Amino acid sequence: MTRASSSVLPGFNVSCVFTHQNTGVELHMRILSAQINGYLDRASWIRKMFETGTKLKQEFGEDAVCDFSLGNPDQAPPPVMADTLRELAEQATQPMAFGYLPNAGYPFAREALAQHLCSEQGVALEADDLIITCGAAGGINAFYRAVLEPGDEVICIAPYFVEYGFYAQNYGATLKPVPADPKDFSPDMQALEAAITDKTRVLLVNSPNNPTGAVYTREQMQALGEMLARKSEGRERPIFLLLDEPYRFLAFDGVEVPKALGMYEYTVLCSSFSKNLALAGERVGYVALNPAMPDKKSLIAGLILTNRIMGFVNAPAIGQRLMVKALGTQVNAEIYQERRDAMARVLDHAGLEYAMPKGAFYFFPRVPGGDDVAFCAALQKELILAVPGRGFGMEGFVRLAFCCDQAIIERSAEGFKRAVDAFKASL
């Protein structure tokens, strides 16, 4: 007989401690897989900063902390959301109002979304060219489950959203980041082409980009498609171009976000309504295929299957109905532009070097001296929260999310200045 108790050992290695009743010897049994233990050891820097912020707010007060760590859209959803929820409340008494639904999504929702994407992407999409998923993350995972095999490689442009690596590893694949030009974070075409091997299965492109705010041009996207077409010739399996576009709606100064879905026949688009409709918690996204993709019916069938067997099954019924009613609307993008300009003034005042974001709601300024973790610690002394660039695969920078009240941005100006001056003096 033994007695058991839970324990968290150093480095987050979760285990149970069993004490043998006869000998009194403690036996440690590991609960988590080695892979997940490793993930916990190198948990997301975004979450680490968020947790640090929670502690600082408890100590110094909510209004004292300038939190630029988490990209959580803070605007209210478009007014149509409230009207739709009232309509749904009236329908809630009907049988099967929110019952099981087709795994690919409501047919009427897929049809409405296809019509919307026809205009947005400039291609003739039909309902059968897409499925509705549990956010863009659910869509990317469903796609990877359908096409990746152990040993495959997914190429992405660094810096990048940290969970891209976890998504690839979920299916035995490896993420292979290729650094962007650090001056403006544009893709390095020669380096990307050199990174492609026989194991390459996907090139993942996020534009407008998290964390840099870069928006890739039409010419750059066309060049990526042409490169993948060349590299896919003679292969048993093509290389997919995977577009992750949750920030498509948010580009500044008249910058164009290219309609890239139709530029290369093996292009897949994953996106969500988390940012443009402030619907992040409802988890509504989609996977759409280039209508010209060869054998697209097989891939759609695979996506419907993986969406189900991975446990997602459907995007929420309420969320799909909200999406349909809100298509064509969005939060006020001008508010984000005003915040971007305010943050630029703050960084100029502090003497930080940065590339002006062309889209999304992030700055990625360069750190004096290059130690991004130490610089974040210096900012914390001024009650300012940023995320080290190494959390996005590029050291020497920090990410600042400006999806917060403009008053917070303006209030941070002197703190940034003091932190930068003190940090430079310590070098």
Q: Using the 8-state DSSP alphabet, how is residue 78 labeled?
A: P
| pLDDT value, residue 364 | 98
Distance (Å, rounded) from C-alpha 214 to C-alpha 29?
46
Strands 2-9 and 13-20: antiparallel
225, 241 in Cβ contact below 8 A? Answer: yes
Measured between its terminal Cα atoms, the distance across the chain in Å is 59
Question: Which of these CATH numbers, 3.40.50.720, 3.30.420.140, 3.90.1310.10, 3.40.640.10, describes 98-326?
Answer: 3.40.640.10
Helices (runs of H) and strands (runs of E) counted in the chain: 14, 15
3-state secondary structure of 279: coil
| pLDDT value, residue 54 | 80
E strand or H helix at 48: helix 45-60
Taking residue 410's Cβ as centre, other Cβ atoms within 10 Å add up to 15
Burial call 295-327: b when 16+ CB within 10 Å, e when fewer: ebeebbeebbebbeeeebebbbbbbbbbbbbbb
Cα torsion angle, 248, 249, 255, 259, sign = positive
203, 194 in Cβ contact below 8 A? Answer: no
| pLDDT value, residue 22 | 61
Distance (Å, rounded) from C-alpha 351 to C-alpha 347?
6
| pLDDT value, residue 42 | 62
| pLDDT value, residue 292 | 97
| pLDDT value, residue 191 | 98
| pLDDT value, residue 38 | 76
> What does each of the 427 residues of the chain score in pLDDT, given as a tens digit?
444 444 443 344 455 555 556 665 565 677 888 888 777 766 667 777 777 878 888 888 878 899 999 888 888 999 999 999 999 998 888 887 788 899 999 999 999 999 999 999 999 999 999 999 999 999 999 999 999 999 999 999 999 998 999 999 999 999 999 999 999 999 999 999 999 999 999 999 999 999 999 999 999 999 999 999 999 999 999 999 999 999 999 999 999 999 999 999 999 999 999 999 998 888 999 999 999 999 999 999 999 999 999 998 889 999 999 999 999 999 999 999 999 999 999 999 999 999 999 999 999 999 999 999 999 999 999 999 999 999 999 999 999 999 999 999 999 999 999 999 999 999 8
pLDDT in tens, 88-106: 998 888 887 788 899 999 9
| pLDDT value, residue 331 | 94
Domain ranges of the chain: 2-40, 44-75+332-426, 98-326
Distance (Å, rounded) from C-alpha 69 to C-alpha 52?
10
| pLDDT value, residue 68 | 94
- pTM, rounded to two decimals: 0.91
Q: Strand order in 362-363's β-sheet?
A: 362-363, 398-401, 387-388
* Helix residue ranges per DSSP H, 272-412: 296-309, 317-326, 333-350, 372-381, 406-411
pLDDT in tens, 170-196: 999 999 999 999 999 999 999 999 999
Provide the greatest CA pair distance for the chain: 75
Question: Which of these CATH numbers, 3.40.50.720, 1.20.1250.20, 3.90.1150.10, 3.40.50.300, describes 44-75+332-426?
Answer: 3.90.1150.10
